[in-house]
Structure 1
Amino acid sequence: MGGGQLVRTAATFAALTGESVEVTDVRGAREEPGLKRQHVAALEAVAAACDADLAGAEAGSERVAVDPGALDGGETRVDVGTAGSVPLILDAVLPLAARLEAPYRVTVSGGTDVQWAPPLDYLTDVKLPVLRAHGLDASVTPTRRGFYPAGGGAVTLTVRPSTLTPLDLRERGRLRHLAVESAASESLREADVAERQADAAVEALQSTAAVPVLRESAYDETASSGSVVTVVAAYEHARAGFSALGERGTPAEAVAEGAVESFRAFDRTPASADAHLADQLLPYLALAGGVYTTPERTAHLETHADLLGTFGFDVDVADADGVVRVSR
């Protein structure tokens, strides 16, 4: 039985271990069970890197099987066809660097900044810097942003054979600086949406923390109108990110406040990884070992850790001094 995240991780670790895997009752508890197009796209992206045979990899399927070959790399393109999350698809590919025999490049089209998933700027400016500091050799080249419902964004990921080092994130250290990254569709330029999001976030952060606050705002031609703001917190030994998406009828300033408040809540804890990162670092912890802390247990974190255990990678999730300690 598995949700979308478990399907992605199962495919990734099938490729990494060379073991065939079958996932049944896919999203069985959902109102519309079975694979969505974004899950199929992730399966296709992983399969192309290792010449895997896929069975049941189609929208609506409640069973999927992956029979991997060698991780020989290469190049492919994957089109979600909807606003399904591009960063989540790329997340399934990134860990393959640990076992790749040659570089692998994949271009994914879909939604770059959508609900229920970290946005593109989180991937490029939070997750990737943390992983690069621990041996990952990967680069991301965005071509276009894509918002709900049309999607239409495009991002190219290149991963190269990498030797991962243990994730030593016991302590995050002091806060060094903050960065605000605000983006909106070109159609929202006249209303100054990107600038207003950025200005409101910077003002709120400057009243919160006595550190430099960097600022960037930009507009993109997009198939659907939308906006996103991300607050990046750079600590001595860690990074964290907090995002909010614009919604029709919600002022840009209120969107920014949502991201800022999420940062404030995290900063009040001693944790070294925010909730999204704690979940997304698990494959690398499984492969290279290490330790990090996060403010709370989530269902995603625990089910993800349980799945890794079925591949022989035991991860310990334990309460410790007001945070949750994740280690291997």
Structure 2
Amino acid sequence: MLTIDGSNGGGQLLRTGLALAVRTDTPLRFESIRGSRPDPGLRPQHLAAVELLADYCDADLEGARLDSETLVFEPGESRTQTLSADIPTAGSATLLLDAVLPLATAIDAPLTVTATGGTDVKWSPPVAYVRHVKLPLLARFGLDAALERSSVGYYPAGGGEVTFRLSPSSLSPIELDERGSLAAVDVYSKASTDLEDSDVADRQADRASDRLDAADVPLGERAVEYVETDSTGSSITVRARYDRTLAGFDALGEPGRPSETVADMAVDDFERFHGTRAAVDRHMADQLLVFLALAGGRIAIPEATDHVRTHRSLLAEFGYDVSLESEGGTVTLTSSGDSAD
């Protein structure tokens, strides 16, 4: 049984570890889960990922309960093609994708996962980021996955629903060490219907577009929508399309935060990224690591965050070697992709 120290990691470490345990049929013991967090242990969204993958492979579980800091996960032999997860309140539904996507290169039949909870909430990728940045970028390297949004869930009530559809996939090496020229920047803005009279989604999109245009950035798609939700909220995602890659930058509305400020937050993140030589944004850097380990390749990232370093250590526990080099302000991750698979 492989033992993982989770004291320096968060939910991403748990989700990736579980996915790799299923892929490699490795019994796994997590200790000190999220041990450095103010609220250590399994939260609802983490427990949902554990139970989802346990249902998928008929795993034996110990410690699968809220606030538990220790978990034993022993994969079984059966496989299920249709799964569902209901995350209480506004726990992130999109983060479940990180526990499921790595299975796409190991399954031999399509897999469908329906999740309810928060779709546009703090500390997780909003639906627009997943649909317009993450999945299209991975599709370039052979991953066959799609996301459908039935409803949007904001904090605190949640109530959003998304469906992931994965098909058996074969990955080519992920070569993202250069991004090429900027082709266009797209703006996706949405808000709950109770904010339509205040034009919140329109104002977010207008502000982002105006700032980008003033900076001579080529503008691309623009989408504004108002959606029925259980809680009031708004969100914006700015997607940068380069010749060789995609990058995304998002922000959420909050009480007392003007719509223009929400847009500024996303555009500011884009401008900081555009001033670097990185090929993927800082959030994607962490999310791509497992695919780099599986397929091999090179990725230029903005910085070697604690998340990236901790994730590399986890991959090494499973036999995947991902090297990290920093030179001239550029951090590059490299993998041969030929170790544990």
**TM-score using structure 1 length:** 0.97
Corresponding residue of 2:99: 92
Corresponding residue of 1:246: 253
Q: Does 1:218 align with 2:225?
A: yes
Q: How does 1:74-93 map to 2 (within 5 A)?
A: 74-93=81-100
Query: Does structure 2 retain, via aligned residues, the 8 Å contact 1:15–1:71?
Result: no
Corresponding residue of 1:275: 282
Aligned-partner SS, 2:94: helix
Corresponding residue of 1:17: 24
The residue identity in structure 1 corresponding to 2:94 is P
Number of residue pairs the alignment of both structures matches? 328
Q: How does 1:115-154 map to 2 (within 5 A)?
A: 115-154=122-161
Q: CA deviation at 1:111?
A: 0.6
Distance 2:278 2:78 in 1: 35
Distance 1:171 1:325 in 2: 10
Distance 1:209 1:121 in 2: 24
Q: CA deviation at 1:71?
A: 6.9
> C-alpha deviations, 1:140-167, integer Å up to 9, x for none?
1110111111111100001111101110
Corresponding residue of 1:171: 178
Q: CA deviation at 1:34?
A: 1.2
The residue identity in structure 1 corresponding to 2:26 is E
Corresponding residue of 2:264: 257
Corresponding residue of 1:43: 50
Distance 2:61 2:275 in 1: 45
Q: CA deviation at 1:109?
A: 0.5
Closer, same or farther: CA 210–255 of 1 in aligned 2, 3 Å: closer
The residue identity in structure 2 corresponding to 1:126 is V
Q: Mind listing any 5+ residue stretches in structure 2 that lack a counterpart? A: 336-341
Corresponding residue of 1:293: 300
Q: CA deviation at 1:73?
A: 4.0
Query: Does structure 2 retain, via aligned residues, the 8 Å contact 1:186–1:222?
Result: yes
**TM-score using structure 2 length:** 0.94
Distance 1:118 1:154 in 2: 14
Aligned-partner SS, 1:317: strand
Q: Which moved more, 1:273-282 or 1:3-12?
A: 3-12
Distance 1:275 1:220 in 2: 29
Distance 1:247 1:193 in 2: 12
Query: Does structure 1 retain, via aligned residues, the 8 Å contact 2:57–2:80?
Result: yes
> C-alpha deviations, 1:229-278, integer Å up to 9, x for none?
01000101100000010011111011101100100010011110110001
Q: Does 1:326 align with 2:333?
A: yes
Corresponding residue of 2:65: 58
The residue identity in structure 1 corresponding to 2:82 is E
Q: Mind listing any 5+ residue stretches in structure 1 that lack a counterpart? A: none
Q: CA deviation at 1:101?
A: 2.1
Closer, same or farther: CA 178–320 of 1 in aligned 2, 3 Å: same
Corresponding residue of 2:339: none
Distance 1:250 1:115 in 2: 15
Distance 1:107 1:214 in 2: 28
Aligned-partner SS, 2:17: helix
Query: Does structure 2 retain, via aligned residues, the 8 Å contact 1:71–1:101?
Result: no
Q: CA deviation at 1:51?
A: 2.4
> C-alpha deviations, 1:76-126, integer Å up to 9, x for none?
110011211111111111111010121111100011111111211111110
Distance 1:158 1:252 in 2: 33
Aligned-partner SS, 2:76: coil
Closer, same or farther: CA 209–290 of 1 in aligned 2, 3 Å: farther
Corresponding residue of 1:311: 318
Q: Does 1:157 align with 2:157?
A: no
Distance 2:330 2:312 in 1: 17
Q: CA deviation at 1:319?
A: 0.4
Identity within the alignment, % = 48
Aligned-partner SS, 2:198: coil
The residue identity in structure 2 corresponding to 1:36 is R
The residue identity in structure 1 corresponding to 2:171 is L
Aligned-partner SS, 2:285: helix
Query: Does structure 1 retain, via aligned residues, the 8 Å contact 2:16–2:98?
Result: no
